[in-house]
Structure formats: structure tokens, C-alpha cells
Amino acid sequence: MVLAIDVYYYEDATAKSVGVLFNWEDEHPRKIIIENVKDVEEYIPGQFYKRELPCILAILNKVDTKQLEAIIVDGHIYVDNNKEYGLGGYLWKHLNGEIPVIGVAKKDFFANKETTFALVRGESKNPLYISSVGMEREKAIELIKNMKGKFRNPTILKELDQITKR
């Protein structure tokens, strides 16, 4: 199974974390997990992981991680070309490198062009920025490229985004 996670933040220091479990060939999630998180840290530029990681862990606490082939996060693995960790890297480190993490971001960073790949999917002209740790980047790119859906975002990731914002 694969777990994709996204988080929506409210103004009152709470967040809605959503995880969807699926197999690579699925068009829709097999299971949806929702967890509300209180006392979320403020956003600090360059330290987004401090805000998001506890929200992701709230979902992981409800999943049998031994069954996971990979985790997809809405963000980057590295924040620069020197491989300084971003959200995905810190998650991988927290998991002791036991589960590969794939970063799928809608925007790139100026400083991490060498650690991401701009993947144009479907009918879109705008790329997704793919990065990975614990898995060869080429394999991660191929997996995201082949996910169901004819648009920029694979259908499952688009559905995850919609559920998170509801």
C-alpha cells in the first residue's frame, strides 16, 4: 500500500490531516483517514517541517506502517541542492529510513533544482516537482507519472487535496 498525506491549516492553530491509502494502479483511495490536530506550530519560513511533521505523524499513528511501500507528501524532500532536508527528508529520518518518501510539489525552489524533477503529466503544461528519499528518484518519477488521471495531479492526489480542504 501507498499512503499519501496532506494537511489543511485553520487560523485557530488547528489542522486537518488527511491520509489516503491506495495501490499504485488504483484510481481512488481504498481508505481515507482524517485526524484533527490541535496546537499546531506557527509557520516559520525555512522550517515548515516543524509545523507539518506532527500533523503527518497523527495520520501515521493510525496506519500499519509495515504495510507501506511508500509515503507521498505534498512538498519537497530537500530544500536545496546540498540535500538539506525539507519536510519529506525529515519524515524519512523520523521513520529511520524504513519507508521511502516521495515529495510531490506544485512549486519548485530556486535552490533545489538538482534534487527535483519537473514532471509534466497529462494535458497540463505546468509540472509537478518530484523528489524522493529511500527510493531512486527515477523510480519515483515513473510511479507518479503512471498514476491514474489525465491531468497534472493524479486523480488520487487531487481527491486527497479536495478532502483536505472540505
Stretch 47-76: mean pLDDT: 95
101-105/70-73 β-pairing = parallel
Write out 111-158 in H/E/C secondary structure: HHCCCCEEECCCCCCCCEEEEEECCCHHHHHHHHHCCCCCCCCCHHHH
Per-residue confidence band for 46, with pLDDT thresholds at 50, 70 and 90: confident
* pLDDT of 40: 93
What is the residue-averaged pLDDT of the chain? Answer: 95
CA distance readout (Å), 133 to 112, 124, 138 = 14, 26, 11
pLDDT digits (tens, 9 = 90+) for 21-44: 999 999 999 999 999 999 998 888
Rounded to two decimals, the pTM is 0.95
Judged against a pLDDT cut of 80, whether residue 97 lies above it is answered with yes
For the chain, which residues make up each domain, given as ranges? 2-165
CATH of domain 2-165: 3.30.2170.10
